[in-house]
Amino acid sequence: MQGPDRARAVGTLCWEGHFRDGRAPLACVVGEDWLLERDASGALGFVLWLNTMHHVLEHSSVQRLTL
């Protein structure tokens, strides 16, 4: 029996989350590593998804965030 078709994707993206009250957004650069595969029907799906790093950007409101 042959295993499923798999592919690995590695990348970096800029992520922002916005508040409804007008505060500056939460902003960071995120490293991601994805492992995808096709099942027997041909549908594409995630096998593994990792956030490998987070770097908070200087303008982000995370430094002023109170929990």
Q: Return the domain boundaries, the chain.
A: 5-59
Q: Helix, strand, or coil here: 22?
A: coil
Q: How many CB atoms lie within 10 A of CB 33?
A: 14
Task: Say what the pTM is.
Answer: 0.64
> Dihedral of CA 61/67/55/27: which sign?
negative
Q: Mean pLDDT by 10-residue block, N- to C-terminus, for the chain (67 residues)?
A: 79 92 88 90 88 88 61
Q: For 7-26, write each residue's pLDDT tens digit.
A: 899 999 999 999 898 888 88
